Structure 1
Amino acid sequence: MTEYVLTAIDTTRIQDYIFGSNRLAENIGGSELVEMATHQWVYEALPPNNNVDAATGKLDSKHTIDTLDAEVLYAGGGNTVILFKTFDLARTFASQLTRRVLKNAPGLELVIAHRRFDWAQDSLAQIVSTTLSIDLARKKQNRAFSTPLLGLGVTVPCASTGLVASRIVEKKPVSLEIRAKSSESVQDRSLDRLKAKLPKIQQDNWEIPRDFDDLGRIKGEESYIAVVHADGNGIGKRVQAIASCYSTPRQNRDYIEAIRDFSQSLERAATTALSSVVNLMADAFIADPALASHHRERFPLRPIVFGGDDVTFVCQARYGLSLAVRYLEAFEEATQNEPAFGGKPAYACAGIAIVKTHYPFARAYRLSEQLCRSAKQMLKQKQIEDSAMDWHVAMSGITGSLEAIRQREYSVKQGLLHMRPLLLRDSEVSWRTWTVFKTLLDEFIREDSEWFDRRNKVKALREALRQGPDAVTDFLSTYQLDALPKVGTINVAGYEKTGWAGDRCIYFDAIEMMDLFTDVQRMVSNSVTADGV
């Protein structure tokens, strides 16, 4: 019998840990500590005889558990999975790792599960699945919840977390958790990792933002940011498919190679997609020096979570939709080019929360997550394989669920004012697509359009849409218009006369986004065309 131990590592309450602060630098620091705790610190806690280059994180496939004390199967998708020669080695590893997390990343919670198995008799694919779906889940449910000591005697609460402050930093009381996130070493490491993975972000020595105000806020003006959260579709099903293909003990090594290749391919594809977003914004800066000057050479985009199919970045609000679309397009392209995906692209969904710069960031992030889920639910309901997106503009506070907000703010007698969520590309199943929205938006913001710079007419149309089809007909008569802008892909009779397709308004979303959208892709393509001429 050849017995090994499988160890799986996961984190809990990760969103609260990363996004619980209203300071961008602290969110960035939290993300970097999570990255370190699930990668670098894991590798450094392994017994010396392992298959990982701790400096680069590269896995050596030539050396396997039969000649090692520990073999990392993969690190990605929020989990790290490792084989150990003995249970004592696994327990020593867990002790060293958790001690380091407690010391260097206060507030971050790890969950670790171990499972013994017989390499010759047990299916490793099944062991991994059981450990992740049952053992880790049971550990999370049964763990003793941490109850932080909120103070004895005279104490001062942390400005960011409300926990007991341990030091005054920049005239603000901060807790151990915030001290760790804000430390110079963690911030520098985060910046170095960002530059290494996304090199164009520093091409012309632009300042990389460490504060939300650096994303494009102009003093004296009301400013908005976009919180973009994107997540791959059906990644879990692909992992299950790999497990099904290598489900016998004789295929254990083949399973390791397949799941490792897939994990690495997914990470490369997501990084390539995010790099495409950064490159697009950088190209816009290069194409339009006035734009860079407007932003005072501060790059108006900052990735917070990246390295897997779960990506979060913040940017100046006007670029949010355009950059989110580019991420979805690039993710499809990158996965299709990865061998582990077998030539079949993976799709993704994105949620974009557009909020005031100093809006509570944790709420903004939760809204972006809800919007991403909304897009996924639409795909599931319509049984469509595609990418999709949803967004919300929060002019004031956000109370209640996304469904409640839309019922309150976008529901009228005729139906719903919004067409969101949208499919990324044209479809025979639905007219609610990015192409339709973008075509209509262009009609309102294009300089040669009859709607451009005619705010009174647009405002009147918006109010007419709220009142229903009859009010839109009256509006057209009042302004002596034959019809509203048309889109060839909308197969709904008479929509250009009423503004509605059944119980969905067609034009409201475009009007709402008029002042909050810049077509970054068009800006870059126009510059390329001009240079070519």
Structure 2
Amino acid sequence: MPVIYTFEAKSIQSYILDSSQLRDMVGASEQIENLTRRLLDKVLQALNLEKGKDIQFSRRAGGAFIAILNTLSEAKKLRDLWTFTVRYCLPGLEFVQGLTEDTDILVALKAANQQKSTDQNRLFPVFPIAGPLVARGPRTGEPAVTEKPNPNNGGTERLDKRTALRREYLHQAQLGTGLVIENKLELTTASATRLVWPQNLNEDENQPDEQHFPTLGNNHYIAVIHADGNGLGELLIDVREDITNVPQHYVDVFSALSDTLEKATIAATRQAAQKVLVPKAQLRHDAQGKALQVMPARPLILNGDNLTIIVRGDLAIPFTQQFLDAFERHSEESLTKLNKFFGKIQLKLRLPKSLTACAGIAFVKSSQPFDLAYGLADSLCQTAKKQSKQSRSADGRVPSSLAFHRITTNMIDDYDTICQRELCTQAGWMLSMQPYAVGSVNTAPDTKAKRLPSLQDLEALRRLLADEKISLGATRELLNLLHLSPMQAQRTFRRWRENMLKMPWDKYREFESLLKKMVVESDKELPILSAKDKRTPLADAIAWNSVARGGEV
């Protein structure tokens, strides 16, 4: 009788980003990458469980796995040892699990998932528990377990257990075969110099053989990007229904689907990084005088259909656009091969032509907390996914899209709160048209679905506004007046339009043409707004120019 044991790490991004030092985030990222790889392999080896014979996996990626075992006793031993191992090696990581058996593997899987949902309500204490006389780590506030030399100031530094394990894990990985994410991407450069990923945000935090994050001159904006696939839940439900009558194919189908998904995500990230990030790598020399190129980014999560990466501000939107485009293409190639493979064994699955994804980009300064920045990026991603679902194509596919926001205040809230507090005027006008569509899936003109504005059109608009022949000061003033006085904003716009039309160059006509493409039906009194929902892309274009300044703008 098959036994299902399912495990899933929760709040992975929060676990990785809860440190103020990039080095510790990288160490936590490496822990998560190896969670269902080397660490799980060691547990299986300790229990003498042979893969393919004693245990099979229908999913094993992204900090989660679904294991199928032969006996209940073996499954319980795995659960007990694995739970102890995770809590010891990754203290503070939240996870849920479920274990059940049934003659029908799909019934067992459903029951295990229900147990996993119930397990979310269970709280686990994190040891050691801090008493009143316990010293704490200054960076995290958690109980200190060791004191290490600090090469940056010549003194010592108290470390909590979580931070100490992260740094040890990072050190061991660097001594061995290297970091998993870096090895996944396999980036290349035309020159003989090697590519290096940064491990610190500031130069004064560098330790021997470490490089800090390269910024663009005085532009210190860094982007936290989070991308997530669309419609994966619906896809898994459809495939599960397709194999209801042939449960013997469950492991093969879902393991192949899981591998296909992760390979598409890795290939898309590799392509985007190779095209956008590698050419902008900064040439430096190490302590021995050897030349190296430091990447203007640091990937933190790359598994399943998830990507979380920190990128230099001016490169964030081009990188994300390339990733979303590439994800569609690579997923289409992989799903086509998968369909052909299962077609040979007369197994018909409802697989889509391709997969799409949405992304959120939070632009922050390097001194701002990254866990809050990730929260905003995730909120932006959810906004993009929600709007994209309302803009399906004629064949029901969800288009790729991205949403972004530049933090200009001391508070970092979710995007809905930001819209109400910063982007919505007293008249109810919205100074944004987020999200923006990317990729080849377009809303059909004959459907009732809402059409998303194109990122390509926004880029053309922001380049036009960056032109010296366009008065950027006037457009900024116009945005301020939209907040303060709608009537004065209308008068200012008419005056600006009259002045622009008097100029020998025809920039206003180009501006008007772009607005018509993005706004579709514009307001008669104030054409920069849409007539129906009173939204404008001007603030988005200006924000993009602000984070891109110092680059090509």
The TM-score by the shorter chain falls in which range?
A: 0.7 to 0.9
Letter in 2 for 1:505: T
Separation in 2, partners of 1:140, 1:101: 16
Which residue number corresponds to residue 255 of structure 1? 250
Instruction: Say which SS state the counterpart of residue 489 (structure 1) adopts.
Output: helix
> Is the CA contact 1:440–1:485 (under 8 Å) kept in the aligned structure 2?
no
Separation in 2, partners of 1:77, 1:102: 18
Residue 237 in 1 paired to residue 234 in 2? Answer: yes
Residue 347 in 1 paired to residue 326 in 2? Answer: no
Q: How does 1:148-159 map to 2 (within 5 A)?
A: 148-159=127-138
Residue 41 in 1 paired to residue 28 in 2? Answer: no
Distance 1:365 1:9, change over 3 A: same
Out of 424, 427, 431, the residue aligned to residue 411 of structure 1 is 424
Residue 473 in 1 paired to residue 486 in 2? Answer: no
Pairwise CA distance, 1:5: 1.3
Percentage of matched positions with identical amino acids: 20
Out of 372, 375, 380, the residue aligned to residue 381 of structure 2 is 372
Distance 1:501 1:93, change over 3 A: same
> Is the CA contact 2:373–2:412 (under 8 Å) kept in the aligned structure 1?
no
Separation in 2, partners of 1:115, 1:164: 37
Which residue number corresponds to residue 450 of structure 1? 469
Residue 210 in 1 paired to residue 199 in 2? Answer: yes
Instruction: Say which SS state the counterpart of residue 139 (structure 2) adopts.
Output: coil
Out of 508, 513, 530, the residue aligned to residue 501 of structure 1 is 530
Instruction: Say which SS state the counterpart of residue 215 (structure 1) adopts.
Output: coil
> Is the CA contact 1:301–1:313 (under 8 Å) kept in the aligned structure 2?
yes
Separation in 1, partners of 2:177, 2:227: 20
Separation in 2, partners of 1:243, 1:206: 42
Pairwise CA distance, 1:432: 1.8
- The Cα offsets for residues 316-348 of structure 1, whole Å up to 9 and x where unpaired, read as 111111111111111111100003375611010
Which residue number corresponds to residue 116 of structure 1? 101
- The Cα offsets for residues 290-333 of structure 1, whole Å up to 9 and x where unpaired, read as x6579994210111000220110001111111111111111111
Distance 1:471 1:115, change over 3 A: same
Separation in 2, partners of 1:130, 1:22: 40
Distance 1:225 1:92, change over 3 A: same
> Is the CA contact 1:267–1:307 (under 8 Å) kept in the aligned structure 2?
yes
Distance 1:501 1:99, change over 3 A: same
- Which piece of structure 1 moves more, 494-503 or 296-305? 494-503
Separation in 1, partners of 2:250, 2:358: 28
Separation in 1, partners of 2:110, 2:462: 46
Residue 50 in 1 paired to residue 35 in 2? Answer: no
> Is the CA contact 1:351–1:375 (under 8 Å) kept in the aligned structure 2?
yes
Distance 1:16 1:130, change over 3 A: same
Letter in 1 for 2:318: S
Out of 151, 155, 179, the residue aligned to residue 192 of structure 1 is 179
Pairwise CA distance, 1:105: 2.1
- The Cα offsets for residues 419-450 of structure 1, whole Å up to 9 and x where unpaired, read as 1111225644425221221110121235xx62
- The Cα offsets for residues 86-139 of structure 1, whole Å up to 9 and x where unpaired, read as 122112222322332233222224433211111xxx2x234223312x111112
> Is the CA contact 1:319–1:519 (under 8 Å) kept in the aligned structure 2?
no
Which residue number corresponds to residue 109 of structure 2? 128
> Is the CA contact 1:180–1:186 (under 8 Å) kept in the aligned structure 2?
no
Pairwise CA distance, 1:227: 0.2
- The Cα offsets for residues 199-244 of structure 1, whole Å up to 9 and x where unpaired, read as 216773233100123332378x461100000000011111111110
Instruction: Say which SS state the counterpart of residue 498 (structure 1) adopts.
Output: coil
Instruction: Say which SS state the counterpart of residue 230 (structure 1) adopts.
Output: strand
Instruction: Say which SS state the counterpart of residue 300 (structure 2) adopts.
Output: strand
Distance 1:22 1:477, change over 3 A: same
Separation in 1, partners of 2:189, 2:36: 27
Pairwise CA distance, 1:462: 4.0
> Is the CA contact 1:242–1:255 (under 8 Å) kept in the aligned structure 2?
no
Letter in 2 for 1:477: E
Which residue number corresponds to residue 59 of structure 1? none
Separation in 2, partners of 1:445, 1:456: 11
Which residue number corresponds to residue 423 of structure 1? 437
Residue 86 in 1 paired to residue 95 in 2? Answer: no
Separation in 1, partners of 2:550, 2:302: 24
Which residue number corresponds to residue 486 of structure 1? 513
Residue 357 in 1 paired to residue 366 in 2? Answer: yes
- Which piece of structure 1 moves more, 329-338 or 8-17? 8-17
Letter in 2 for 1:165: A
Instruction: Say which SS state the counterpart of residue 315 (structure 2) adopts.
Output: helix
How many residues end up aligned between the 2 structures?
Answer: 488
Instruction: Say which SS state the counterpart of residue 50 (structure 1) adopts.
Output: coil
TM-score, normalisation: structure 1: 0.83
Separation in 2, partners of 1:293, 1:498: 49
> Is the CA contact 1:201–1:299 (under 8 Å) kept in the aligned structure 2?
no
Which residue number corresponds to residue 346 of structure 2? none
Which residue number corresponds to residue 343 of structure 2? none
Residue 516 in 1 paired to residue 525 in 2? Answer: no
Which residue number corresponds to residue 348 of structure 2? none
> Is the CA contact 2:137–2:160 (under 8 Å) kept in the aligned structure 1?
yes
Separation in 1, partners of 2:497, 2:435: 28
Which residue number corresponds to residue 453 of structure 2? 432
Which residue number corresponds to residue 530 of structure 1? none
Distance 1:150 1:98, change over 3 A: closer
> Is the CA contact 1:233–1:348 (under 8 Å) kept in the aligned structure 2?
yes
Which residue number corresponds to residue 327 of structure 1? 323
- The Cα offsets for residues 30-73 of structure 1, whole Å up to 9 and x where unpaired, read as 1221222222222222243522xxxxxxxxxxx4xxxx222222
TM-score, normalisation: structure 2: 0.81
Query: RMSD in angstroms over aligned alpha carbons?
Result: 3.0
